[in-house]
Amino acid sequence: MIENRPRRLRKTAAIRRLVAETQLSVDDLVAPLFIREGINTPEPVHSLPGVFQHTRKSLLEEVKKLRDRGIPGLVLFGIPEKKDAKGSEAWNPNGIVQLALNDLRSELDDEMVLIADLCVDEYTDHGHCGIVKSDGTVDNDATLELYQQIAIAQAEAGAHVTAPSGMMDGQVQAIRTALDSKNFEDVAILAYAAKYASALYGPFRDAVDVEIADGGDRKGYQQNPKNVREALMEVHLDISEGADMVMVKPALSYLDVISKVRAETNLPLAAYHVSGEYAMVEAAAANGWIDGDSVGMEHLLSIKRAGADFILTYLACRAAENLQK
């Protein structure tokens, strides 16, 4: 005789909903968006189907659409017309991200959380996330001074949250100090605390027109995919320096890391469902091999189940529509 029948609680859709352990909602979604200087119409990112480099006008229209679908936040990346060795357009008050933040804050005020990615790789002519020394390595401490200038520029433009992604040692403390010195104590920091040197970022680099000089890579500052204890150390360091929220990036290939970070902190935990994870779903769906919407929702649910509080994802708009059906 069978003593245990778990299938009893799978019999109907209503029962399955009642006993579901993990809930995914629109409130869990943050949309990554790209704005490009010097274009008159939105330009598609071919390796990210459905994603565009926006003009200021089209960005505002897209954000209003996200707001109307109930999505609470966005993270903004900029593509400038001019690049230089330091990435100086990243902190230019009239730089494309600062102008866009002004537009969005004027139109939406506090209706959505405006997160500004803080890095210089989109703005440098060499594609690295900081000042490059003569030996080709990134100068950590000199780069922190740039990050401080960027954080202040983003805060002055209206960002609610600044999100340092460069993986420089001490970046959170440097940014917190700079923000507080200019009376931006209420601007929060979302730290890319566990950001891996992943092979899944290719489509994103297409979206921001970044190519690392001389065929280089970022393994000297992003984390080794072989390591998890290192990620936990980085998370604890960022928290001790003043991070308000922490992030794991990528997400799907690092569910174990998300789970371990969740066990280590009660701070809000973000995960970035990155461009390569999104692009694989889109490519397979385009070939008729999978149901793209179903697989995408399963991806997001698995990230939430692993312990993330919210998810940065290019699926945000479609996921919101699916969740509201």
Q: Are 115 and 190 in contact (CB under 8 A)?
A: yes
Euclidean distance between CA atoms 264 and 294, whole angstroms: 31
* Residue of 182, 133, 138, 142 lying closest to 162 (CA atoms): 182
- With H, G, I as helix, E, B as strand and everything else as coil, classify residue 219: coil
Annotated active-site residue 249? The verdict is yes
Half-sphere exposure of residue 64, counting CA atoms within 13 Å on the CB side?
Answer: 9
Euclidean distance between CA atoms 239 and 173, whole angstroms: 9
Element (H, E) at 189: strand 188-195
Phi, psi of 101 (to 5 degrees): -60, -40
Looking at 83, 86, 195, 304, which residue is catalytic?
Answer: 195
Euclidean distance between CA atoms 319 and 70, whole angstroms: 11
Beta bridge partners of 313: 273
Euclidean distance between CA atoms 158 and 153, whole angstroms: 9
* 297 DSSP assignment: H
Looking at 64, 83, 86, 249, which residue is catalytic?
Answer: 249
User: Cα angle vertex 302, ends 188, 218, to 5°?
Assistant: 55
Copy the structure tokens of residue 314.
């290019």
CA dihedral 91, 185, 100, 78 (to 10 degrees): 50
* Residue of 170, 179, 190, 187 lying closest to 249 (CA atoms): 190
Euclidean distance between CA atoms 98 and 91, whole angstroms: 8
Copy the structure tokens of residue 47.
């390796």
Q: Are 188 and 247 in contact (CB under 8 A)?
A: no
Beta bridge partners of 75: 32, 115
Q: Known catalytic residues?
A: 195, 249
